[in-house]
């Protein structure tokens, strides 16, 4: 697989031309502040020891402590983690919350580990980074194949090492340990608020809009649930084992039940489609909610959706972006579309620092305001530069990051 960080550098080059950035500015954007590489030693249930490669990249901290998830996945690489950390820096800047960007990962298939092995891996990860993370330094969160339980183990390990309570070191925690209400579905909710604004501009009705969602993990499943409740027609969904399609619409509550009991959506009674075929369905809105590099120059011409809402990180390559723009497809970029998650993580952190917690309605009201305002700012920037929405979001975010670097005297 091509190094996904090459795509980031290509994106930086493109934006540098539009914004007429100088060499110093480009250098700051192209290089992470800190890269941690380490081996996590885990005692396996059979008594043997196994090493797992771990990474934590802190990309830019000019606007505040760095922030970003930790993923456990067999395809984790340093290039991927650097890319995700860069996108996190932009994501926080585009919704104007006071964070920089970071990301972490471990090369592991968590499905092959027992619960106890997973716990030992999680605690081992924290032991390797404990001097480099903290509520005012770097704040991890869940990502692919990590969850609230894993965050609980990580929090506990950090607090044991430091000898004090520090709930603000990690977000995406269970409510009982200082998590925020609405955090579990905030990524999807933020994306739904943005989609609603676009639909308003286009003067469309939800009932007339057909949606396909690639990826039926936390983000994809919650997006299906929210849009279904709002009256959109969900006609196709998929997970790692394949997809299903019904042009009349799927019974989302039933799909969720089947996914929960059978561990795959493909057990639902509907036409079977592959993940590749799902991307090319005849729909109004396509939501890539799986992994990066799903829409490429090979399949971009075959995308039939009018709107692509990127709930996953980096699902569209730069080559594909160009093709979609020329076709008139509206691509809502990941750094805006999926920023609801980090926004509510920010709320969680604020509540931890306060020691005072908000009601769910209050969290959603604050999230809606930030997502709607951010969309409007990006939309206005797009009009100003006569560009696509991704470039506009990058420009808005980079303006804020470079303004902070200039104020600090780094440029």
Residues with catalytic function: 103
Measure Cα distances from 320 to 156, 250, 265, 304, 324 in Å: 43, 29, 28, 13, 6
User: Cα(304)–Cα(284) distance, rounded to whole angstroms?
Assistant: 8
- Looking at the DSSP assignment, which residues form a beta bridge with residue 259? none
User: Cα(364)–Cα(150) distance, rounded to whole angstroms?
Assistant: 25
User: Cα(25)–Cα(5) distance, rounded to whole angstroms?
Assistant: 18
Backbone dihedral angles phi then psi of residue 249, each to the nearest 5 degrees? 110, 145
158: Cβ contacts below 8 Å, ≥ 6 apart? 126, 130, 133, 166, 169, 170
Count CB atoms within 10 A of the CB of residue 79: 16
HSE, CB side, 13 Å, CA atoms: give it for residue 112: 9
HSE, CB side, 13 Å, CA atoms: give it for residue 5: 16
| Residue spans of alpha helices (H) in 4-71 | 4-19, 23-30
């Amino acid at each position: 697989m091509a190094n996904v960080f090459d795509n980031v550098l290509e994106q930086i080059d493109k934006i540098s031309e539009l914004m007429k950035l100088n060499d110093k500015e480009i250098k700051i954007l192209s290089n992470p502040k800190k890269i941690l590489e380490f081996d996590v030693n885990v005692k396996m249930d059979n008594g043997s020891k196994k090493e797992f490669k771990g990474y934590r990249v802190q990309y830019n901290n000019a606007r505040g402590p760095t922030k970003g998830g930790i993923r456990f996945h067999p395809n984790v690489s340093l290039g991927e983690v650097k890319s995700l950390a860069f996108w996190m820096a932009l994501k926080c800047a585009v919704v104007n919350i006071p964070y920089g960007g970071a990301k972490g990962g471990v090369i592991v298939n968590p499905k092959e580990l027992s619960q106890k092995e997973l716990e030992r891996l999680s605690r081992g990860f924290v032991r390797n980074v404990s001097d480099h993370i903290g509520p005012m330094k770097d704040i991890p969160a869940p990502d692919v194949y990590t969850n609230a339980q894993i965050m609980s183990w990580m929090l506990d390990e950090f607090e044991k090492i430091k000898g004090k309570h520090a709930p603000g070191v990690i977000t995406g925690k269970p409510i009982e340990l200082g998590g925020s209400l609405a955090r579990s579905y905030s990524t999807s909710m933020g994306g739904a608020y943005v989609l609603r604004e676009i639909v308003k501009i286009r003067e469309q009705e939800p009932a007339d809009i057909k949606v396909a969602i690639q990826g039926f993990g936390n983000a994809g499943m919650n997006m299906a649930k929210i849009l279904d409740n709002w009256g959109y027609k969900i006609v196709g969904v998929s997970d790692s084992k394949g997809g299903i399609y019904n042009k009349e619409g799927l019974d989302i509550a039933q799909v969720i039940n089947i996914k929960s009991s059978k561990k795959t959506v493909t057990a639902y009674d509907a036409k079977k489609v592959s993940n590749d075929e799902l991307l090319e369905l005849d729909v109004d809105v396509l939501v890539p909610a799986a992994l990066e590099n799903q829409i490429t120059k090979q399949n971009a011409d075959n995308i039939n959706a009018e709107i692509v809402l990127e709930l996953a990180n980096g699902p569209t390559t730069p080559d594909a972006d160009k093709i979609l723009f020329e076709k008139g497809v509206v691509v809502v970029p990941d750094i805006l579309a999926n920023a609801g998650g980090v926004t509510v993580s920010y709320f969680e952190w604020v509540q931890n620092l306060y020691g005072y917690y908000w009601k769910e309605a209050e969290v959603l009201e604050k999230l809606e305001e930030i997502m709607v305002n951010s969309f409007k700012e990006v939309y206005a920037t797009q009009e100003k530069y006569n560009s696509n929405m991704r470039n506009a979001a990058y420009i808005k975010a980079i303006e804020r990051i470079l303004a902070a670097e200039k104020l600090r005297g780094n440029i």
